[in-house]
Structure 1
Amino acid sequence: MTTQPAQPGRFGAAEPASYGPFAHLTVPNTGLYRQVMGVFMVAKERFAVHLRPEEVYAALAPEHRPAGPDAVAKALDSLVEWGNLRADPDTSRVTAVEDFYRKRFIYQLTRAGEAAEQALSAYDEALGRRGALQAVALHDIVTQLQALLVLAAGQEEGEPDGAKVHLALSALTSRFEALAENARAFMGSLQRTIDLHGVEVEVFLAYKDRLIQYLERFIQDLITLGGRIARLIGELEEQGRAGVLLRLAAVREAGDAAPDEAETAQARAHERWAAKWEGLSAWFVSADGRESQARLLRGRALGAIPQLLAVVRQLNERRAGRSDRSADFRTLARWFAEAPDDEARHRLWRAAFGLYPARHLTVGADTLEERAARPVAASTPWAEAEPLRISPQLRRTGSYERRGRPRRVQDRSGHRLRLAEIAARQAEEIAAARTRLAAGGTARLSALGELDPVSFGLFLGLLGDALAAWRPGVTTTVTTSNDGTMEIRLTALDDGRRAEIRTPGGVFQGPDHTVEITDLTRSSPVREPR
């Protein structure tokens, strides 16, 4: 097989003139060709250069091995013709002059064949990838953002170290890209699971509980850490700190470029880093009426749980033998197809749907007396039956009832004004409660004093989020509210004291802790990473 030299493509790169190494995908015995190429890829990993036909035959799995070595030899010759392999004369086992005239070859991968196999492996991996919701990646992103915040805070003392900035940004973007890609793959596989595409029913019923628990844990971590990540991103974007860090990373990345290309390389690197940072910000921060991808992912994951439960309920109903409308219609369609003639199909239609010929629109005393005196069979055609007298009003309006004046449209403006006043009052109460809780700084729970119902409800929600984020072995936890506007830092105490918070509804009691509540809608100082 001959190939033409590569020609420059429309993007400036060379484009191959032939895709011969992929020809074995569109011919008979594709499975054998793929298995043979797999043997050569495994041999390459073991640093084996050449393989003989009998070695390839022995390396094939028993279920994929053909009846004899001749089929493998023919497959090797075809792969040589397509450019996947290269054949060289095998002279190492020649013991007589006659052996020179026998067809003996050893085979090895070509660059084109190896590239084709790598592409096919990447294709198979992408199709089979299920992905995962990586809660650990969220913690890593928080850690890297806090490290960048510390580096940015050191700008007052001098320019941050470009190497440290580049490493931190590289680690941050790597974890974020893995999180986004795995989340996309996982949600796609989750939807296929909900639709039961390629999923066995018994397998689905066996692991559905673990899947739901997995979703609930990720949603909890996303709620807990999503607000912190959004807050850290906002602090880095204040006063152009993020722009300085991206510029330093671009300078570091373009440090090895040639002198005449340094400026261009730095501009391209800065453009790439800016695009990655913009993608990270859009993933966690909502802006300009656009919801963040994290919020959309949380909503999609929350919506998947009732969908999974609905699928389980439907499967259980089918297994319990309850009525299934789709199964009933399929059975009815089969009966129609098996009916011997049209008359039988009409009888089946009337029996299934109860659509019998109508003989009158209304029945009065006169009609009943007349039918009793002169019965009319149900099979009597309309053309041969006695005509029916219809009221002119029914013919004109379609109803015997006289239509009166329509009801007056009720004025709801007063109710809407009342609802607006209630919403404004509730917003004021929540703002006052937010100010009340955030004004105390770091204090004990026992020192909070008496709380009104609104303040206590807000405090109870924050305390519940903090306790949900508590991990064994830690003494301090920090979390944010669901909307990302409040942050609570809760620290356990070992003095054995108990706290009491009085409310109009009773007394709230529990072990005493130190608590610090921060209103994130206001500016806050930079904190060291924990």
Structure 2
Amino acid sequence: MSTDALEPDRAADEARRLKLYAYLDAREHRRTYLAIMRLFASTLLADLSAGEVSAALAAAERRGDVPPGEARVETVIVRLKQLVEWGNLVAGRREVVASSIAEFQHGSVRYQVSKLGVRVQRAADELLRTAEGAREVSRELLPAIAAGLDEMLCRLASATLEHGRDPRSAAARRATERLAEQVTTLFLQHGELAATVRDFYAYLGQVVTRYHLVADEISGFRNLLVEYIQKVVEDVLRHTPAIAEVLTRAEFAGAVRELLTLLTPAGSLGADLERARGRRHEDWVELTDWFVDRPGRPSQVTALREATARAIGTLLATVKRATSGGGPEPGRRAELLRLAKWFDEATPDQANTLAAAAFGLYSARSLLPAPEHDGGDDERTAWADGPVLDVTVSVRGRGDRGARGRTSRILDDPLGREQLLAEARRDDARHADALAELAAAHGRLDRVTLSPDALGTLCGLLTDAMAQRERVTDTGSSGDPVGGLRLTVRPEPGRTQTIRTRTGTLQLHDTTVEVTS
């Protein structure tokens, strides 16, 4: 059969399976459907009639879990038939002893929950119980998986040896059972680890998209960054190399084939049998891909490290923006919350005044003469036939004139980079020479002639010193941390500090300037 012929069947099967979720999004009677499905999913091999379901719903109706009137048998039958149509329940019959036709009709039709219906209800209940916060990553499972792989290989060798002696012996059966236990434990541990990692990083992705943070959230995210994510990454880096080493051994592929042969059941339970994890070759390929990189396909461990690096950078930027209040577009969250509080506490008249003051919502007033009518723009021309005003795309589509689109790429210019580095080296050399010249003028600043570079450096230090003057002594000082030069300026009435340069003379009245190394 061709692939094209299979596509309609696959689409029809997907549509049939997706109907199983219909009762969760039903606009009406969703609470009744949930109560019925919880009743069937709470008991193994549940086989209930409409009357038994009605009795259970009556108790739920008294508790307020379902709306009034939903526990009537006629209503329950309609709800059960709808669930059967969606595929969540399966209808059947059995012999009953009844005193009336109505009792026979209500008791002979029995309902059982379908396998997929149980899974949908179990997933729905788990979703409703799940907290909104972060889920703790089961880091302790990483060393357990590493030890479990080694133990599995040991049990595989033991089972192979016993089967080589006598496949039907009790020792061979016990060895195979212990091997199956180890494989099941190993994949349960990996499944729990993978689920917690996915949930935690899904929450982290939800967090990094936040722009505004309140004070309580900042403290929590700081702990999340500094402590928890670091612990997760450290455990991953410590334990995954040992796991990857076992999974990439040359003899591991042969061991998996031998393992699958030993764990293959003697009898067949049907073509649609869903086997436990670890009994198929695809399960071992999935386990290997989680820990080991392949060409063109990075492992989940690599993806975890990359996602951690991106999340830490984004969260740090978010926390920094929230704590510093900086950024090109500072948030207005606090101001808007304060304004909302004012609106909530205001009377109607005060609210109108607030709206007018905050948003400029005043009544319309025309303070200019009416414009001249030209080009058909008069009271007799419909607005659709009047002149057209051109509006830019950004204003028409987004309501603002801000620039959009990706920033231009920064081109790599090796020659320009070398030129800039050479200029920086020349500037550093000139600055060092200026500092050396000022240091040599210690004690005789008024008797030397400074170069332009030395004068520029001196003026910069003098400006910083004047800005840092003390209030009591009116004395200021500044220094160059690279050259180790310090300039001190003090008030001295009657003294004129003269500084000569090649381009002129600088005089500071009632001031003395001292340069020290």
Q: TM-score range by the shorter chain?
A: 0.3 to 0.5
TM-score by length of 2: 0.46
Rg larger for = 2
Higher relative contact order (CA 8 A, sep 6+): 1
Give TM-score scaled by structure 1 length: 0.45
